[in-house]
Chains A and B, each alone.
Chain A
Amino acid sequence: MPELKIVVLAKQVPDTHNVGGDAMNPDGTVNRAALPTVFNPEDLKALEMALQVKDRMPGSHITVVTMGPQRASQIIKDSCARGADDGFVLSDARFAGSDTLATSYALSQAIRQLGKVDLVFCGRQAIDGDTAQVGPQVAEKLEIPQVTYAEELCNVDGNSIVLNRRLADGVEQVRCTLPALVTVTASAPDCRYPHAHRLLRLAKEEVKFLNADDVNPDLERLGLKGSPTKVKKIDNIVLSHKESCQVDATPEALSQLMATLSKEHIIS
């Protein structure tokens, strides 16, 4: 049975289900201190798919990589409690302000340091940015094929992986040669829970941190310097129940609703 080297890219994100009134600073920036953090939900599903590969090929090794502040180490501990073998946090002030281009560059450099990698799994997108760009950009930088919107692992061996992709008009099955990068969508299976014995063992263990120098980067491509995206402003829009309206279940009423939503640019 071949053994694969697997990387899971994960992100700690603000819990957007629990956004309070103090989520934004008066200057329009995000008040991160007021937001509880969670494991990005689709990244958890990516971890589960990696664990399913390991279930089928037990000698495989899963490394979880995240980029963020000190507290992002919780993501690594959580992943290891769920079955990942190890992981590290890319943490350095020089990464601050990274957009998807700079983030994917830093992550791809980190993956390169690990030597030969067979599979990279990541969530389709993070709930704080919703760009769905980091995964594909990492694949491009590593010059490996990518399978996006993966929903189900069908088969895997030492040479290829077979996945079902969830598309707007149905499910598509694809086979992809390894190495490859897979982005996992929200309809994929939920991640298994942490294992109690692993939780207790990990409680006393230190999480490994890498800084910018450790991943041998071109410093011009990191952080704000390497990020062409400039965010002008973020608005905190709280939809209240008062804005709801009753729509009759008739073709005319539904057409009217669609017209209104389109006119207000809620749908395009």
Chain B
Amino acid sequence: MNFYTDNPSLSLHLHHPDMVRVAETAEKGFTEQGTAIPANSEEAIQQYEMILDLLGNISAEVIAPNAADVDLEGPHLVDGRVQYAAGTRKNLDTLVQSGLYGMTLERRFGGLNMPRVVAVMAAEIIARADVGFATIWGLQDCADTIQQFASEELKQKYLPRIQDGATCSMDLTEPDAGSDLQSVRLRATFDEANNCWRLNGVKRFITNGDADIHLVLARSEEGTTDGRGLSYFVFDRADGGMTVRRIENKMGIKGSPTAELVFSNAPAQLVGERRLGLIKYVMSLMNGARLGVGAQSIGLCEAACREADIYAATREQFGHPIGDFIQVQDILRAMHARTLAARTLMYETARYVDLSAASKPASRVADMLTPLVKLMASEYANRCAYDCIQIHGGSGFMKEYACERLYRDARILTIYEGTSQLQVVAALKGIVSGGYLKIVADYDAKASTLTLTPELAKCLAALRKGVERYNAMYDNAATEGTSAPRFEHHARRLTEQVALIIMGYLLLFDSVRDNAYTDACCWITEQL
């Protein structure tokens, strides 16, 4: 079993034509030399495939079989420390022993120098096996923040530990600062005698809260009350000063320990510059995390589709497998279409994130697409989990079937790392500026040059009508100006409409490369 090789749609995205440029950017024009370093894009993509093949194997053979037990056992709090469930420990050990931790880090820190596309695909594959575990795996993105913004001294101190299995957490939320992170109160004061910062206060709902390496958002500027008084710190658990007060009893992703942390004079170092904690570093990390939740969501969609397919093919009623019945087929068709649509949007976004390193315009597109990925993928994951139970009927309501766990695990996806409502707020800028329409216009120009089957030509016509409808919706929403409450009332519908249009174009391009995606393209354009 292998969760990479058994899913041809992953290979489609890994071999997307733009991956040549992604590999060139990741390898900085192939200037580095060495036995394990690719000499050209072809070799680089072969390497990506080898890594995903290994990860797909471990996900199918180790992580997925552990998922049910991990969900049941969950983590334990022992003497103020979190102990993972036995299966979680085994997952972590296997991935570390296989050298897969730190896959996006530079080689000089023991990393594999994989681009974001590969990291996102790895997260999706792991999430298909166990979404709860994917949260722990995904938090190694914290190391990217250190790599991007911290001093060389901090990089040398922390980054080589990642490949040895040092786990990470991103400590942002507090009892009174959830979506509104500007209200963070945990204090950071400079200790001149010891030349370090001291952290005091409480963090709440911290995923993987007893990690080895913590990135902590704290108020370093006394007397300030907004985001400009916040800085970002790295805290090493081994230095002491932090205890876990409790771990939450959650509805889903139960293997992932969600903790309340008390910092008492905990020593920490500043990451980057003071006052840029929220407005620069957390925003950067958050964009990565939102793509990460997209990956978790699509992994869950994939798992739900497969559970539903198997049940529909094997469960017989009225003398037929229930998959023979048209209403069941309609549900399955929608599940697959949503999964493929969210996936194509996610990898398009990930490619733009990778290309951002060398291109400002690419960075702008990545910033615009990221909230759409988080919004659509997480909402679709919930819908797919719901539909998976519907296919299973009464059995799906019982704990014996995996779909019950998927349903619980899916629920957090539209909430953490920014609720769906906050994604709409983030998307507003691209709606008002016309940025999304510019992306769509570029896609349409490209579509005009393609030779399309009659079915796909119909899809393109539907997409163009969808754009007309979007413009009409926009005009109606903006009659009192784009700052008026009326506009925000319409914001969700506008965001979803533009997301559907973008996913539709991307599926059209996928369908030109492989006709197997045409049905998903048709389904999405039917929703416009």
Contacts and interface: CB of A to CB of B under 8 A. Distances in A.
B356 interface: no
A197 B112 CA distance: 7
A194 B98 contact: yes
Contact of A200 (B36, B57, B58): B36
Interface in A190-216: 192-201, 203-205
Contacts of B50: 199-200, 203
Nearest to B38: A200
B51 interface: yes
A39 to B, nearest CB: 12
Contacts of A198: 99
Nearest to A198: B99
Contact of A201 (B36, B51, B94, B98): B36
- Scoring B97, B98, B100, B112 by chain A CB atoms within 10 A of each residue's CB, the highest score goes to B98
Contacts of B225: none
Contacts of B58: 193
Contacts of A200: 36, 47, 50-51, 112
Nearest to B98: A193
B2 to A, nearest CB: 12
A195 B47 contact: no
B35 interface: yes
Contacts of A203: 36, 46-47, 50
A199 B35 contact: no
Interface string A179-193: 000000000000011
B261 to A, nearest CB: 32
B46 A194 contact: no
Interface residues of B, number: 16
Nearest to B35: A201
A201 to B, nearest CB: 4
Give the contact-size bracket for chain A: 10 to 19
B54 interface: yes
Nearest to B62: A193
> Which of B47, B50, B94 has the most chain A CB atoms inside 10 A of its CB?
B50
Nearest to A204: B35
Contact of B99 (A197, A204, A205): A197
B117 to A, nearest CB: 17
Nearest to A83: B97
B51, B54, B99, B112: residue with the most chain A Cβ atoms closer than 10 Å: B99
B36 A197 contact: yes
B35 A196 contact: no
A202 B46 CA distance: 13
Nearest to A205: B35
Contacts of B99: 195-198
Contacts of B57: 193
A203 to B, nearest CB: 7
B46 A199 contact: no
B288 to A, nearest CB: 21
A200 B111 CA distance: 12
Contacts of B94: 193
Given A201-B35, A203-B47, A195 B98 contact: yes
B51 A196 contact: yes
Interface in B96-130: 97-100, 103, 112
Nearest to B163: A197
A199 B57 CA distance: 14
A196 B97 contact: no
A197 B36 CA distance: 7
Contacts of B47: 200, 203
Nearest to B50: A199
B89 to A, nearest CB: 16
Contact of B54 (A196, A201, A204, A205): A196
B39 to A, nearest CB: 9
Nearest to B94: A193
A195 B97 contact: yes
Nearest to B58: A193
B54 A193 contact: yes
Contacts of B98: 192-196
Given A201-B36, A204-B35, A196 B100 contact: yes
Nearest to B114: A196
B252 to A, nearest CB: 28
Contacts of B51: 196, 199-200
A194 B36 CA distance: 15
A194 B54 contact: yes
A265 B344 CA distance: 56
Contacts of B97: 192-193, 195
B160 to A, nearest CB: 13
Contacts of B100: 196
A201 B50 CA distance: 11
A192 B99 CA distance: 12
Interface string A216-228: 0000000000000
Nearest to A82: B98
Nearest to B95: A193
Contact of B112 (A193, A194, A196): A196
Interface in B35-50: 35-36, 46-47, 50
Contacts of A195: 97-99
Nearest to B102: A196
A196 B103 CA distance: 9
Nearest to B47: A200
A192 B95 CA distance: 11
Contacts of A194: 54, 98
Interface in B50-78: 50-51, 54, 57-58
A156 to B, nearest CB: 21
Nearest to B103: A196
- Identify the 9 closest CB pairs spanning chains A and B, nearest first: A196-B99, A200-B36, A201-B36, A195-B99, A193-B98, A197-B99, A201-B35, A199-B50, A196-B100
Interface of A: 192-201, 203-205
7 contacts: A195-B99, A196-B54, A198-B99, A199-B54, A200-B51, A200-B112, A203-B47
Interface of B: 35-36, 46-47, 50-51, 54, 57-58, 94, 97-100, 103, 112
Given A196-B54, A197-B99, A201-B35, 20 more contacts: A192-B97, A192-B98, A193-B54, A193-B57, A193-B58, A193-B94, A193-B97, A193-B98, A194-B54, A195-B97, A196-B99, A196-B100, A196-B103, A197-B112, A198-B99, A199-B50, A199-B51, A200-B112, A201-B36, A203-B47
